[in-house]
Amino acid sequence: MLPRTLFSSEHEDFRRTIRRFFDEEVTPNQEHWEEQGMVPRELWNRAGELGFLCMGVPEEYGGLGADKLFGIVLMEEKAHSRSTSTNFEVHSDIVGGYIQHFGTEEQKRHWLPKMATGEAVGSLAMTEPSGGSDLQAIKTRAVKDGDDYIINGTKIFISNGWHADVIVLAVQTGDTREGKNDISLILVEGDRPGLSKGKPLKKIGLKGQDTVELFFDNMRVPQSNLLGGKEGQGFKQLMQELAFERLTVAIQSVQAARSALELTIEYTNNRKVFGKSVSSYQNARFKLAEMKSEIAIAQVFVDRCIELSLQHKLTGEASATAKYWVSELYCRVVDECVQLHGGYGYMLEYPIARAYCDARASRIYLGANEIMREIVARTL
């Protein structure tokens, strides 16, 4: 299809390196990690050792000072390799991004070098049992007490939560009843007294990803842990980062869809029905052609969104469109691919069956697709 123009030769060299890492050190361990419900802590250390974490962090804070596209290459190769147990992007691009862009100098120097080496794992805690997409309605509250905050509340569906050493926690700090002006982000150490972690949640897909509930019971943190050092900035900080966060779903969805299609092309070429390969039948060929075309179209839109993000021009409308449309394409593609695999497509020993289970969450996390449609509808 159309050649991509985003990446330099250096990015493509890195693509080969990171693909080898996933193929040799991650994908072969997927089944074991899915049984455990998380990756081992050693994988984080290994990724840090190889320089794959927080690559965009400036060298003075322990990173490589690499451009954003290196992180995007990592996301693409993770998705294409179906290495769904890892969640490096939450750690590096999301949590690392909050600390790098909004943290005080002390916060940056304390956390970013540790995150770059894998010594500290990062997590973002926004969603609560009562809801996730409506950020202004969060109930977890931080109340001032001397030089500290006392925090009470619960967060759910928190990626990297079990291994987390630093949590970017969304809380209510104000009482103006104006919603967004009452929200702040606080950095919470993973071993702080008053914080307890539930067991990894059992999910229908993404089973190897570390996903937990977090409970805050009169947890005391110093006010110096307030991200950026100023109250009431949390909603603004979240909104500034959310467009790219939602784009990461589209970036990975289009590559995961392409991977599913490649699996299915190989299977239908080799699988015989009435003495002929499945792919030789017109219905199968047309289905494969439709999926190939739609994936190519999605890639063009996603690449344009990436370009806008690099220019700091990506709008909430564009990222919401990419997030909902490409994630739904991903789900449609894996459904068609399961069908073309026949009964074997329903067996978990086949990668396409696991892809079917993993795909479903993409329409929910980082904003349910119904909310994404609402964001787009507001621009009509």
Q: Residue 265 and residue 268: Cα distance in Å, rounded?
A: 5
Amino acid at 44: W
Q: List C-alpha distances in Å: 244 to 4, 250, 380.
A: 20, 10, 22
Token pair of 129 as six digits: 């049992």
Q: List C-alpha distances in Å: 120 to 26, 96, 168, 227, 256.
A: 20, 11, 13, 17, 28
* Long-range CB contacts (within 8 A, 24+) of 175-183: 179/136, 179/137, 179/235, 180/135, 180/136, 180/235, 180/236, 181/232, 181/235, 182/232, 183/135, 183/136, 183/138, 183/232, 183/234, 183/235, 183/238
CA of residue 201 relative to chain centroid, distance: 17
Q: 3-state DSSP call for residue 332?
A: helix
Cβ distance 193 to 220 under 8 Å? Answer: yes
Token pair of 164 as six digits: 């987390």
**Exposed (0-12), middle (13-18) or buried (19+): which is 198, by Cβ within 10 Å?**
middle
CA of residue 209 relative to chain centroid, distance: 11
Active site residue 266: no
Which one-letter DSSP state was computed for residue 86? -
Amino acid at 53: L
Residue from 354, 71, 55 nearest 209 by CA:
354
Q: How many CB atoms lie within 10 A of CB 230?
A: 11
Q: Residue 216 and residue 220: Cα distance in Å, rounded?
A: 9
Active-site residue identified among 245, 294, 317, 349: 245
Q: Cite the active site residues.
A: 245
